[in-house]
Chains A and B, each alone.
Chain A
């Protein structure tokens, strides 16, 4: 039972990692905790749902549209809600993103209601020894790895990516070097929400969801960011794998209802013992 449970947990952990990566990127670059992270994940789910049921599109092709939509939405949220309070105390940015969170949930609830939705898309399963792996889970994990790799290429091999890293290191110095920091911060925020939307889209291929479903993944993202290291995308991915593995293994030894309890015990322990996270902050 341990091997199948661990495998299930790790496959899910990749997707958790992508979700957390989005939160971690925004946090690392501009010290903003995006409390609208959860509803954006849910919007990613609905994007796949609408593309699949409304337009008959393959969910993995729709994911490209969802990613683009997440990027644009993030840039819009930045300019409308975050940019004005970016230099204010943390509480202001928290409240600003909290307000965005409530607006998105309110509008989406009015449009979609809170009824559960399903993307009835199945690619079957295959056997790997004692483990049965649904193809949708494996593809989600592979997509997560691909997206992580693309992020690293972007951050380390492209001018906008280097600009993001420069702004993250020292905003004032970056401004003096001619980098348009406001646009770079908007881009970083958009990338963060793009990752959130992508993770939601991948989750929609194997779990049902409602407009409120993003909340639980948002909480996991916080735990993962602290676990892996604040502002560290690679740490977020590794933290996601660790959390996924825990979620897979714990039920093998005790009732599944203990999983969230132990997750948050770990959260508090990491904050107390190693607050910089396993891989440290902002690599």
Chain B
């Protein structure tokens, strides 16, 4: 027993050291995000001859996952938001009818991709830093923690990079979602499979055991079973999983003909790499989050044929004409203009996370313009009435008590990595059919 007690002490010390790695400390100020250059297109907010009025600066508070597993997507999200902010400020801000000129500033910290830091930092943003509006961190898990703080302290929060439906079932009235909800994330992948090969009937769902991914696959499983599919494997993996060998063996043993699931960028990329290394003969492979990221191409041949749902793609083009045809207001720049400005600013292709950050800024801007005020109650009412089309897509919020703030206008597109005639990896839109840029590559090589 003495030996057992000794070992318990050793394990306790180990646990303390592991926990200490996540111990709270003074908030780390995120380094200055890369600033966008002079805007090439003025936003619609200002006109040439506005009387000079009082200038007010609205502080937007948010956290950035500068470190930790969400850093790739989070940094792109923040880049998009910063691009929007600099475009608005450089164009002279938003001029209200009373002559007030509204400009924006920001306050951000590194949330280290952890919920504990998000809770601490959003409380700080809302109380000590007196942020006027909040933008969510990246990911549903972190956003769920931040949303509670926003509601508690009466701050309007626009969420982006956060698709989980459940956040909007909590009775919050100040949280508004930019992303298509998780419940509609993978249903299109099931539709694409049905359209591609109707003989496939057995699916495997292997997914990250986190809030967002679980919400997505639960909804997709229900949808797939309703469409006549048999789910032969439905298993989650820990967020820190590095070895997908056991899951791959289970998939092979289950007889599944298609795999859907994944979680976020790091685990999704690792899963795709190990599927490729094991030469798993699966014809259809759809993953969350990772495939639409330009960095997914770093996998090389392992990326070919992998499908992923995307909130937005550079190839998608919404226009003022399509808004008019749909009976909606058009707002902001064209998608091609956003892509051009983003590439000029950051020397990289924007992902949908980048556009999500930009769209969050646009939502706030349009709401202030529609409200003709920065008063939170007026801005909230403007958001509830919003029904617009942007380069990102349709924006409209659920205003029911059951799902207040849930995004009900926006839809997903599905991309797949394919090689062109020159052997280069390119990302193509393969679903919906009316928006596709290439036929789906099937079976997966």
Contacts and interface: CB of A to CB of B under 8 A. Distances in A.
A118 B7 CA distance: 34
A132 B279 contact: yes
Nearest to B298: A120
A226 B7 contact: yes
Interface in A172-215: 207-210, 212-213, 215
A104 to B, nearest CB: 11
Given A105-B21, A115-B71, A271-B7, A251 B278 contact: no
A113 B67 contact: yes
Interface string A3-28: 01100100010000000000000000
A125 B238 contact: no
Interface string A94-110: 10001001100100010
Contact of A98 (B17, B112, B240): B17
B324 to A, nearest CB: 44
A256 B237 contact: yes
Given A226-B7, A275-B3, A215 B18 contact: yes
A90 B3 CA distance: 13
A207 B270 contact: yes
Contacts of A275: 3
A208 B11 contact: no
Q: Is the interface of B mostly helix, strand, loop or mixed?
A: helix
Interface in B218-237: 235-237
Interface residues of B, number: 47
Interface residues of A, number: 51
Given A114-B67, A208-B270, A272-B4, A248 B17 contact: no
A81 interface: no
B294 to A, nearest CB: 15
A122 B4 CA distance: 43
Nearest to A109: B21
A209 B219 CA distance: 31
Interface string B33-74: 000000000000000000000000000000000111101000
Interface stretch (B125-133, B167-175, B249-257): B249-257
B423 interface: no
A208 B245 contact: no
Contacts of A213: 242
A226 B6 CA distance: 13
A119 to B, nearest CB: 11
A145 to B, nearest CB: 20
A271 B266 CA distance: 37
A222 B10 contact: yes
Interface string B69-83: 101000000000000
26 contacts: A1-B253, A5-B245, A94-B9, A98-B13, A98-B17, A102-B20, A109-B21, A113-B67, A113-B71, A114-B67, A114-B113, A125-B277, A127-B279, A132-B278, A209-B242, A215-B21, A216-B240, A218-B14, A248-B245, A248-B246, A251-B247, A251-B250, A252-B249, A256-B235, A268-B4, A271-B3
Interface of B: 3-4, 6-7, 9-11, 13-14, 17-18, 20-21, 66-69, 71, 112-113, 209, 235-238, 240-243, 245-247, 249-250, 252-253, 266, 269-270, 273, 277-280, 298-300
